[in-house]
Copies of this chain bind each other. A is one copy, B any other.
């Protein structure tokens, strides 16, 4: 059951993990040389890694410029959530249809782990487990393709949370997960779907609707929101803001 992954796959996993856990904030530059150094491989392979991650939507790699961790726009974020809702609804249906006793035990164990991480205050672990809850469900649905798609959107949601969400993200989620497990166990598809929809709704709400936070990231969105407010309150002098030419903060790019 242990498959020997290629070096490219390993690097993919590593980078993916780093992005998902927000160790590399959205917009971080990912020069091919540098990655090659760190992973001990040539640019040829790094390139494959980046292409893969780009197809998963975790990396922006515009034609002739340096790749960066992705910065989904608000519109993209909404699309992703819309897609995720569709996928998770279907997953719930499929999991119930193919229910097996071990699923209950496994899921409950997972939720317990989430609870433990939350109480221990391990934010990083907590975030990871919250995501894994959903990918686990995806595995139980027994459809590789849906599982792949779900994995993709779940990853991307981490990015969205990092960009637009509040820092303390995965708090009450644990209880909602518990409710979902209960509904699944009861085999009540309608209820499970309802709860799942509500769960995703509240995640999306936390992620998108309370906007700014996130210490000045996505200046453009923030400013345009302020502009709207100004325009609505009378001042007509807002007009087009001279668009900022580059990321305003953090000449980051990994620690050197």
Contacts and interface: CB of A to CB of B under 8 A. Distances in A.
A80 interface: yes
A90 interface: yes
Interface string A68-82: 000000001001101
24 contacts: A6-B63, A44-B44, A48-B51, A51-B51, A51-B52, A52-B55, A55-B55, A76-B144, A79-B143, A79-B144, A79-B145, A79-B146, A80-B145, A82-B143, A82-B146, A83-B143, A83-B145, A83-B149, A86-B86, A86-B87, A86-B90, A86-B146, A145-B153, A149-B149
A94 to B, nearest CB: 8
Contacts of A90: 86
A146 B63 CA distance: 24
Interface string A93-124: 00000000000000000000000000000000
Nearest to A146: B83
Nearest to A87: B86
Contacts of A52: 51, 55
Nearest to A94: B82
Contacts of A51: 48, 51-52
Interface string A148-180: 010001000000000000000000000000000
Contacts of A144: 76, 79
A198 B52 CA distance: 36
